Amino acid sequence: MAATLIQSPDRVILQNISWHTYRSLVSDFEQELALRLTYELGTLEVRMPLDPHETYKKRLGRLIEAATEDLGLEIRSLGSRTCDREDLAKGLEPDQCYYIQHEAQVRGVGQIDLAQYPPPDLAVDIDITSSSLNRLATYSALRIPELWRFDGENLTIYTLQDASYIVSLTSLALPPLEASNVEQFLKLQPTTGENSLIKQFRQWLSHQTI
């Protein structure tokens, strides 16, 4: 069956795409860091995130990294690395992802095969312009234990329970943090410089861990 194409302003959707073609496109686009590919059982969505998406992606990533430093946790940061499983015919790029609880297990591993190693412990998904595919279902199928999703207004923390996500007030990977805590700092973005925001966050966090 031939591939079919659907276009919208910030994304392209290709249908009837084989796994081999998807993996070839991942390799072809690996230098195009802004592109996000989501593959779901033969349907491929290619998103081209705009500046607000990238701003919140970096801001949320810096908050997570600052928290792990101040909490004395080792991490392996993998940014938007492709998370996929051929046996599931599913794959995507998170906006950020981290090994935290399993950092030691993958510390010396060059290229991590998710069929052999656990998935990242925490992923970030900025969803200002909603995906046409059910990325939440793809994350859960890949067994990523915790997902932070921000829609430009609200931050939701999802934790994996059995085979599906439930909304959680508190982070599993970073227990002192609640969604509302992180959200209040994200909402400072329009009026506060990036470094000043991170400094305020560190000061706040230091009072939570005394």
Per-residue pLDDT of the chain (210 residues; tens, 9 = 90+): 445 555 555 778 889 999 999 999 888 877 665 688 999 999 999 888 888 888 999 999 999 999 999 999 999 999 989 999 999 999 999 999 999 999 999 999 999 999 999 999 999 999 887 665 788 999 999 999 999 999 989 999 999 998 899 999 999 999 889 999 999 999 998 999 999 999 999 999 998 865
State which amino acid sits at residue 161.
Q
pLDDT of residue 1: 43
Cβ atoms 94, 125 nearer than 8 A: yes
Express each pLDDT in 150-185 by its tens digit: 998 999 999 999 889 999 999 999 988 999 999 999
**Helices 51-70 + 194-208 axis angle, to 10:** 40
Q: Where are the alpha helices (DSSP H) in the chain?
A: 19-28, 51-70, 103-106, 135-141, 179-186, 194-208
pLDDT of residue 50: 81
Quick check: helix, strand or coil at residue 52?
Answer: helix
Quick check: helix, strand or coil at residue 194?
Answer: helix
Cβ atoms 47, 35 nearer than 8 A: yes
Question: Which residues have C-beta within 8 Å of that of residue 148, sequence separation ≥ 6?
Answer: 60, 64, 122, 123, 124, 125, 155, 156, 157, 158, 171, 179, 182
Express each pLDDT in 194-205 by its tens digit: 999 999 999 999
pLDDT of residue 110: 94
pLDDT of residue 145: 97
CA pair distance 185, 191, nearest whole angstrom: 11
CA pair distance 155, 149, nearest whole angstrom: 6
Structural domains in the chain, CATH included, are 51-208 (3.90.1570.10)
CA pair distance 123, 70, nearest whole angstrom: 19
